[in-house]
Structure 1
């Protein structure tokens, strides 16, 4: 299996150094590169998850629908992040979340059924799987912390201080859906922070 991997694997190797080149080549042998257009889904509500993927380029949102049918975003996926709904796959139940491209994207897509047996044979891949699970729990805990703040201003300020990449890369509409507030309320909070910063500098 001594062939040269595509250049995007270099980023994954840096992020997950425990995985050897031979193991990345093994993963590459069961993976396919897919292009997904903005607005298309990697996983749709109500479908049982059968695939996972690394994001090569582009951005994704993990979202649910509330009782009124409004979209709420749980988290975002950026380059080198992992896309999956393990609960849907493991329990063979329809997915409660949708994973959708919010810009044109390229992913490295893998069939979970082919991926899972490798965890028993390669401890480093199991380690990465556990690391991904830990990252997911941390993201969920952080999102709950954000939602514990009462005002859109406090929620937006938290993102500004802790997750500036979301502020820089994600549209105001999608940030509002992530913060569980209206676009109008978020826009007012954003303008207030800009005014406060301007007054501070004056």
Structure 2
């Protein structure tokens, strides 16, 4: 459990190198450690996300249900990343997404109230909040643009390049859903690449 806390605080210190040890200790008092089993939900559709979760270990998947009742995967988040539907979190509105654990997960959580307290009492952490938000925004923008500017094959190649460590940790159906392609299309892409 302590190691999860240490991993998180180290990542915070990397983002905010000017934070003092005293400030970091105060900040650390506001975090909680939560453990989830495989298939547990960190966030469910229609619920308000109470905490932002930093993944110390494990893997989660973010998804939504489309108008036809299909479950669409929009993201995979692993160690060192944040599990959140950020716009809904910062406005404390019900989320349009679910975040489910694909493996047992240990998460370091910061509640909405505690984040507000931190910003008010430990202003040096505002940089931390801004940089985390920017990282989440970049991730979302990259995903949107991949569907505008890339072919299915390019999205697949990009995934292999950027997320090779996730390859054996996710199912083919979740990967296809994330890439926005049918299973047969993925098979064709793989066969084509194998023969190049």
Cα deviations by residue, 1:130-172 (Å, 9 ceiling, x for unpaired): 1111111111121122212564322212222344334354332
Using the alignment, how far apart are the partners of 2:20 and 2:53 within structure 1? Answer: 19
Determine which structure has more spread, i.e. the larger CA radius of gyration: 1
Aligned to 2:148: 148
Asked if residue 178 in structure 1 is aligned to residue 161 in structure 2, the reply is no
Gaps of 5+ in 1: 197-202
Query: Structure 1: how far apart are the matches of 2:113 and 2:188?
Result: 47
Tell me the CA shift for residue 17 of structure 1.
4.1
Residue matched to 1:8: 7
Q: Distance in 2 between matches of 1:144 and 1:13?
A: 27
Displacement of 1:6 in angstroms is 4.7
Aligned-partner SS, 1:95? coil
Residue in structure 2 matched with residue 128 of structure 1 by the alignment = 128
Tell which has more relative contact order, 1 or 2 (C-alpha 8 A, sep 6+). Answer: 2
* Structure 2 CA distance for partners of 1:86 and 1:144, relative to 1, 3 Å: closer
Aligned residue pairs, count: 193
How far apart, in 2, do the equivalents of 1:185 and 1:75 lie? 20
TM-score by length of 2: 0.85
Secondary structure, aligned partner of 1:62:
strand
Q: Describe the shift of the 1:132–1:9 C-alpha distance in structure 2 as closer, same or farther (beyond 3 A).
A: closer
Runs (5+) with no aligned partner, structure 2: none
Q: Note closer, same or farther for the CA distance 1:22–1:55 as it changes in structure 2 (3 Å cut).
A: farther
Q: What is the TM-score normalised by the length of structure 1? A: 0.83
**1:166 and 1:147 mapped to 2: Cα distance?**
20
CA RMSD of aligned residues (A): 2.4
Residue 116 (1) aligns with residue 116 (2): yes
Distance 1:9 1:17 in 2: 12
Q: Distance in 1 between matches of 2:14 and 2:100?
A: 23
- Corresponding residue for residue 22 of structure 1: 22
Greater displacement, 16-25 / 127-136: 16-25
